[in-house]
A and B are shown apart, each in its own frame.
Chain A
Amino acid sequence: MLLLPKFDYYEPREMSEALKLMSKMKTSAKIIAGGTDVLVNMKKGLISPKSLVNVARISELSDVEPSNGTISIGSGLIVEKLTEFDIIKKKLPILFKAARVLGSPLVRNRATIGGNIVTARPAADLPPALLAVDAKLKLVGAKSSREVSLDKFFIGPGQTVIKPTEILSRIIIKELPPFTGGDYIKLGHRNALEIAIVAVASRITLDSPDGVIKEARIILSAVAPKAIHAVSAEKALKGEKPTAKLFEKVAKLAAGDCAPITDIRGGAEYRRAMVAALTKKTLMNALNEAKGK
């Protein structure tokens, strides 16, 4: 049996109380919500925080708030609930798709959207989908709070710009324009309980159902120290008429935009080839969704 080391445990009910605790204890404390990552790392002996601050009982962290053109998701919302809220299914289907393939049903019932972001794992499922819709994060500190775009949040594996005294409170997404479609595909060795070998999230917005591509995002995951934009591929889509031929060309560019490594889950060359295949596939599905098919 894997045992947990000893620690002090705090369970604030209010955000202000949690922030006070974190500004006092700083790096000696870790925030816990679902615990599906923190407790695994503690059991494996990778981390041994002196204290755990459980934020799961702060009710304001686990709601979804649609308000004038934005959707604001509390960081403590469990992943399974992302698949249950109608507003997510309708307005952010790409996030719904990513949430459906995270871990197992048992993990999805505990893991939170905030946890899947702040742990900054290179193969995490929600960040690619959130990057594809230009999500912003609200980071709250005891004295001030700030908004950071998700694009500027990750530094590398396990590393982000969040300060030890700050708490991620909300994930904020602007409602997407009409004629927008997206898709997230994760490639694993099996269909469940899997860490991605490669995953791609694509989103395109057309200027009209039969028009040109106004905006494009292609996010590549598990092929770099953090989820990245396929920069040249995104550029090549902009202003163009979407066709299978264009997507073919763009898929090749995306394969050149990433820097995969060889590890136990897959070889670098294989990963690069799969980036091309998944880019094309996600773009085709995104196009169909954008056209309302």
Chain B
Amino acid sequence: MKQIITLTVNKEIYEIAVAPNRTLTQALREDLNLLGTKEGCGIGDCGACTVILDGRPVNSCLILAVQANGSEITTIEGVANGRDLHPLQEAFVEHGAIQCGFCTPGMVLSAKSLIEKNQNPTELEIREALSGNLCRCTGYQKIVEAVKIASENMKK
């Protein structure tokens, strides 16, 4: 039986009816039409489905939509300010940290969570924070560099 849940996604409140066996990834993509959140492996290994849930980056493919009832969620669509890209997104574009782009929303959201907690992350801290996000184009070096540059730009 479907249940009515309330999600605050990118500061907008949504009320939707979902069956218990739908994941948060499915609810975001199929009910809210927010297609920036990707599903890769579906079992919490790849991080393509990363969203920020109540302040913490999580795998949305391993969360039931009903479990997220009442939560505040940031998806990749909520990172830019209108047409102005977030410094992280800018750095990713500028410094070649995007290849096919499938892992990018998850990478940006994990990096955003890190930078909000730690304004001067070291390379090791960046690598640790991104360790749940896999890039199959193998572009990690550029991604780590972009996060470092963005963290520096954000202090200016």
Interface residues of A (CB under 8 A from B): 1-9, 11, 32, 34-36, 39-40, 43-44, 52, 54, 56, 80, 103-107, 109-110, 191-193
Q: How far is the CA of A145 from the CA of B153 in the complex (A)?
A: 56
A110 closest partner in B (C-beta): B58
Q: How far is the CA of A107 from the CA of B41 in the complex (A)?
A: 14
B113 closest partner in A (C-beta): A105
The verdict on B77 contacting chain A, using a C-beta distance below 8 Å, is no
Q: Which of the residues B3, B57, B58, B64 comes within 8 Å of A39, measured between beta carbons?
A: B64
Q: Which of the residues B58, B66, B129, B131 comes within 8 Å of A9, measured between beta carbons?
A: B66
Interface residues of B (CB under 8 A from A): 1, 3, 19-23, 26, 39, 42-45, 47, 50, 53, 56-59, 61-64, 66-67, 110, 128-129, 131-133
B75 to chain A minimum Cβ distance, whole angstroms, is: 14
- B131 engages A104 (CB within 8 Å): yes
Q: How far is the CA of A245 from the CA of B63 in the complex (A)?
A: 50
Q: A4-B23, A40-B44, A109-B56 are in contact. Are A35 and B132 (CB under 8 A)?
A: no
Q: A5-B21, A7-B20, A40-B62 are in contact. Are A105 and B43 (CB under 8 A)?
A: no
Chain A residues within an 8 Å CB radius of B128: 105, 192
- B59 engages A107 (CB within 8 Å): yes
A206 to chain B minimum Cβ distance, whole angstroms, is: 33
B73 to chain A minimum Cβ distance, whole angstroms, is: 13
Q: How far is the CA of A11 from the CA of B66 in the complex (A)?
A: 9
- B43 engages A9 (CB within 8 Å): no
Chain A residues within an 8 Å CB radius of B1: 8
Looking at A7, A8, A35, which has the most chain B CB atoms within 10 Å of its CB?
Answer: A35
